[in-house]
Amino acid sequence: MDESARRRYPRPATKLGVTVFVNNEKILGTMTMIDINEDGIGIISEKALFPGTEVYVTLKVINDYAIYGTVRWSHLLHKNKKTYYRMGIEAESIIIESINNTDEALGRSELVSKILSETGK
């Protein structure tokens, strides 16, 4: 069974650079969010993060949003003679970081829709 068959909600594809922090330490390397829904995100990374790792993810283009979550699974990928990791991160919360933002009252599904619309998806 693939990851999409286990999800409660579909994850629309997107492609957006992200920065990932573990224990307040920035994880170096290229990381790209490839899908998102109100339950979580999918990331392709040059660095491995193992299941159970708690993460804080900021969106590089949209600085107001951050996602707190836990890595639930990780798979090794080989492409163009490079090694990557495909990870599923369960979102515990999607945060709007700017205090004066009027979107604070939005629910998770509305935040995901807003993120997708702002990334052009």
Angle at the Cα of 52 from the Cα atoms of 50 and 56, rounded to 5 degrees: 85
Domain ranges of the chain: 3-118
The token duo for 55 is 């993460």
Whole-number Å distance between alpha carbons of 90 and 60: 19
- pTM (2 d.p.): 0.76
Q: What is the pLDDT of residues 101-112, one digit of tens each?
A: 444 556 777 777
- Is the Cβ–Cβ distance between 86 and 77 less than 8 Å? yes
Helix, strand, coil in percent for the chain, rounding step 5: 15, 50, 35
What pLDDT band is residue 4 in, cutting at 50, 70 and 90? very low
- Give domain 3-118's CATH number out of 3.40.50.2300, 2.40.10.220, 3.40.462.20, 3.30.420.130: 2.40.10.220
